[in-house]
Chain A
Amino acid sequence: MPQRLTRFFASRKGIILAGAVIGIVAPLLQKLGNPKNMGICVACFERDIAGGLGLHRAAVVQYLRPEIPGFVLGAMLAAYLFGEFRARAGSAPIVRLVLGAFAMIGALAFLGCPWRAALRLAGGDLNAILGLAGLAAGIALGVQFLKSGYTLGRAPKTYAAVGWIMPLLMVGLLLLRILAPTFCKDGPIFFSASGPGSLHAPLSIALIAGLLIGFLAQRTRFCTMGSIRDVILMRDTHLLSGFGTLILVAVIVNLIFGHARLGLAGQPVAHSNHLWNFLGMALSGLAFALAGGCPGRQLFLAGEGDGDAAVFVLGMIVGAGFSHNFALAGSPDSVAAGVAKVGGLTPFGQGAVLLGLVVCLLIGFTMREQRKEI
């Protein structure tokens, strides 16, 4: 039976099922309280976690999102049930930390990771097209590096306890969310009183949703970056059928719930600065491609024992801290005194995205293995 299930989940039907479930669950979470077009956003939720811990002090985006621990622990459960938990670590962890940080800086310039780009599109936010185009461009660049021998090297097997560290950190986050202690006057744990951080689905539902998606995604290897990469690299549409299904199903569910509103200007938690929407996601796409997975996939890998993916996740949380502390994140379109104002990036944010692109290019160019002829 487990073998048959494994073959099913590895099949096209399996990946389509995963995409469909995410496409239903994400708008549902939004209906139950999560911010608009943000039913699930791995980058935003990790940014909120960084805020909840006080690693940045942007008061509107602070909340220990239970979906993220759910992703890791659901993937871990699936990996153990199917005998796939395999602790490994040591494939250039410092590079993964840097890639994670810049992936986050790029995502927060756009205001969302690939998951949210899909959900924004499904909610009618046409700025997401620029984001997705940037994502594809960044990934296409990453594919060129992969083709020319880019690799961060092999990850050796290690003690199972190494693979447990990230899941245990996630249990710790959940405990902090549940107990909500205050560590000092005006100190963490922070909970936003207004803004996106104050909007959230009930704890138990968010956690169950996270566990379910983590479980399914571990079984099916759902990956938003991989879906575009595999098409460019080898004309393989397997993963893309999952990502495409996500968007399609989310459109339908959004229409049923009345969430969708078509347009460019004034979309929820979004800006219509096209250049930086494109470049922000291009940076993210390149960083994800060089690190071998989208932010969701990195969480699922961390759950099945991949210590390097865990370092990437920590890099994203660190990147979120820098992003908000240094005013690098995009500001949404706003209306002030009846006048619509286009949001976007500060000069610091623009500089950080460009710096990130330069760093990722350097990583791509300098970390190539001369292949032995086979």
Chain B
Amino acid sequence: MATVDARGLSCPQLVILARKAIEAGQFPIEVLVDSVTSRENVRRMAEKAGCSVAVNEMGDEFSLTLTRR
């Protein structure tokens, strides 16, 4: 289990962080983001990288759980 706190960061930094976590391979990975743009960007990158993405909405923030497909 790894956690990437990308709240407050903008693209592409948060996508780079999430991708590094995927490369490190400690699944499941939790990515915390605070905008819809960030959520969609991480989702697109992760799905392309072969992960399943589950989104949990927490107020105006999102927690994405990435697992290996």
Give the interface of A toward B (CB within 8 A).
Answer: 6, 10, 82, 84, 86, 88, 91, 146-147, 151, 154-157, 221, 226, 229-230, 233-234, 236, 238, 292, 371, 374
- A84-B35 contact given A236-B45, A374-B20, CB 8 Å threshold: yes
A233–B12 CB distance below 8 A:
yes
Given A91-B10, A292-B11, 7 further pairs, Cβ under 8 A: A84-B37, A86-B34, A154-B9, A221-B40, A221-B41, A226-B12, A229-B12
In the complex, A362 Cα to B24 Cα: how many Å?
A: 31
A206 to B34, CA, bound (A): 33
Given A236-B48, A374-B17, do A292 and B10 touch, yes or no (CB 8 Å)?
A: yes
Q: Which 8 A-B pairs have the closest CB atoms?
A: A154-B8, A10-B40, A374-B21, A151-B13, A84-B36, A292-B10, A155-B8, A374-B24
Q: Smallest distance from the beta carbon of B33 to chain A beta carbons, Å?
A: 11
A374's contact among B2, B15, B45, by CB below 8 Å, is which?
B2
Contact A230 B35 (CB under 8 A): no
| Distance in Å: Cβ of A94 to nearest Cβ of chain B | 17
A155/B2 in contact, CB under 8 A:
no
Contact of B15 among A82, A151, A221, A234 (CB under 8 A): A234
Chain B residues in 8 Å Cβ range of A10: 40, 44
A-facing residues in B1-33 (Cβ within 8 Å) = 2, 4, 7-13, 15-17, 19-21, 24, 26
Q: Is the CB of B13 within 8 A of A146?
A: yes
How far does the Cβ of B39 sit from chain A's closest Cβ, in whole Å?
Answer: 9
Q: Which B residues are in CB contact (< 8 Å) with A229?
A: 12
Task: Give 26 pairs: A residue, B residue, CB < 8 Å, sorted on A.
Answer: A10-B40, A82-B36, A84-B35, A84-B36, A84-B37, A86-B35, A91-B8, A91-B10, A147-B16, A151-B13, A154-B9, A155-B10, A157-B8, A221-B37, A221-B41, A226-B12, A230-B12, A233-B12, A234-B19, A234-B45, A238-B44, A292-B12, A371-B17, A371-B20, A374-B2, A374-B26
Closest Cβ of chain A to B3, distance in Å, is 8
Whole-angstrom CA separation of A151 from B15 in the bound complex: 13
Please report the C-alpha to C-alpha distance between residue A128 and residue B60 in the assembled complex, in whole angstroms: 42
CB distance from A293 to the nearest CB of B (A): 8
Q: Which residues of B contact A221 (CB under 8 A)?
A: 37, 40-41
Query: CA separation between A301 and B17, bound complex, in Å?
Result: 22
List of A residues within 8 angstroms of B35 by Cβ: 84, 86
